[in-house]
DNA sequence: TGCCAGGCAGACA
DNA sequence: TGTCTGCATGGC
């Protein structure tokens, strides 16, 4: 059983100024990270639970984590994408994009599990973010493996908490539509089962699509072979699950921006090979600022 | 109570 | 090829 000792944090200075945890975990790219206090987020990476927190020490921003320094360097730093340069050259007359970059600064595009991302964004269609989170949580509680974590608090008292992993493709592929009643998937239930069977039977290989030698366009063509996966969901999976940072999902919010600020037409290529980062800045900006 | 949500598939012209 | 419509569910 994994133990989290809240009196034993690992302190990280390197890269701390590159990330804003609130923006990163609350910008709509992931749905299972939970804010447990003013500065701390809890989530799972590769079925291990971690806490990550922000703090100020001697006037300098630092990160604190319950992970070991080895886990940080080998797993979490990569997951948070802290080694990637997010510099974007914005055209000088593109005032909306400039504002979005400033407002969204600190968002990192997480290197999430492709399978979880695929199912999460199939669920996302015609749903709002609170509903997406509720539905995914029910799916995990019903069909994920139960993980137990021992938490030692600051008083030395031990509590055991349970957590459910994201259900595997093999697990979901065994199910019938009726098994998904009560999850709240609505008409998406058959899309989920179809995707699970496609992955189980190797009709689509998400790990292969994740390869750096595979283009975003090729990945999207493959993803759209799945019933229930259209251009928007495929772009989100490519960006958030396959880490194709040049993909630019166009949802109702981005389309609203394009209509309002770009006279109905915007070529994401103007933002270079990090246009997906720009897309997320714009999405966060329009949803959270008074500019909406 | 009614509106709407990080869309999609299928029908139709 | 482009446009239109129905779709399950629940948060607000």
- For residue A64, what pLDDT is reported? 97
Whole-model pTM over 0.95: yes
Q: In 3-state terms, what secondary structure has residue A175?
A: coil
Regarding beta strands A34-35 and A40-45, do their DSSP bridges make them parallel or antiparallel, or are they unpaired?
A: antiparallel
Q: Which residue is nearest to nucleotide B7 (CA to C1')?
A: A125
Question: Which bases of chain B are contacted by protein, using any atom under 7 A from a CB?
Answer: 4-10
Footprint of strand B on the protein (CB under 7 A): A 27-29, 124-129, 131-132, 187, 224, 226-234, 236, 249, 251-254, 279-280, 283
- For residue A2, what pLDDT is reported? 87
Q: In the predicted model, what is the mean pLDDT of residues A10-15?
A: 96
Give me the numbers of helices (H) and strands (E) for chain A, helices first please: 13, 8
C-alpha to C-alpha distance for A257 and A292, rounded to whole angstroms: 9
Residue A290 has pLDDT above 80, yes or no: no
Residue A19 has pLDDT above 70, yes or no: yes
HEC sequence for A69-115: HHHHHHHHHHHCCCCCCCCCCCCCCCHHHHHHHHHHCCCCCCCCCHH
| Alpha carbon separation from A153 to A6, A43, A71, A160 (Å, rounded) | 5, 18, 21, 11
Distance of CA A18 to the CA centre of its chain: 17
| Alpha carbon separation from A103 to A215, A253, A278, A291 (Å, rounded) | 29, 16, 11, 11
Q: Which residue is nearest to nucleotide B9 (CA to C1')?
A: A228
Mean pLDDT for chain A overall? 96
- For residue A289, what pLDDT is reported? 84
Q: In the predicted model, what is the mean pLDDT of residues A184-210?
A: 98
- Positive or negative CA dihedral for A103, A89, A236, A147? negative
- What's the CA A257/C1' B1 distance, rounded, in angstroms? 31
pLDDT digits (tens, 9 = 90+) for A149-177: 999 999 999 999 999 999 999 999 999 99
């Amino acid at each position: 059983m994994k133990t989290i000792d809240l009196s034993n944090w690992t302190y990280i200075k390197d890269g701390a100024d590159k990330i804003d945890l609130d923006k990163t975990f609350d910008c709509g790219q992931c749905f299972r990270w939970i804010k447990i206090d003013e500065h701390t987020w809890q989530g799972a990476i590769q079925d291990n639970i971690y806490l990550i927190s922000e703090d100020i020490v001697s006037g300098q921003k630092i990160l604190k984590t319950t992970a070991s320094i080895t886990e940080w360097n080998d797993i979490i730093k990569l997951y948070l994408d802290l080694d990637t340069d997010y510099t974007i050259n914005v055209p000088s007359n593109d005032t909306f994009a400039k504002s979005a970059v400033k407002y969204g600064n600190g968002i990192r595009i997480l290197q999430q599990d492709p399978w979880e991302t695929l199912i999460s964004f199939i669920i996302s269609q015609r749903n709002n973010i609170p509903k997406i989170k509720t539905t995914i949580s029910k799916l995990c509680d019903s069909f994920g493996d139960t993980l137990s974590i021992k938490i030692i608090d600051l008083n030395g008292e031990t509590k055991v908490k349970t957590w459910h992993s994201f259900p595997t493709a093999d697990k979901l592929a065994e199910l019938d539509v009726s098994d998904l009643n009560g999850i709240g998937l609505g008409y998406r239930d058959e899309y989920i089962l179809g995707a699970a069977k496609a992955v189980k039977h190797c009709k689509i290989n998400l790990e292969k699509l994740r390869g750096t030698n595979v283009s975003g366009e090729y990945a999207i063509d493959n993803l759209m072979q799945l019933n229930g996966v259209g251009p928007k969901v495929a772009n989100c999976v490519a960006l958030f699950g396959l880490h194709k940072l040049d993909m630019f999902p166009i949802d109702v919010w981005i389309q609203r921006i394009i209509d309002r600020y770009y006279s109905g037409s915007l070529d994401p290529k103007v933002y270079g090979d990090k246009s997906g980062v720009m897309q997320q800045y714009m999405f966060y900006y329009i949803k959270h600022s008074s500019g909406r």
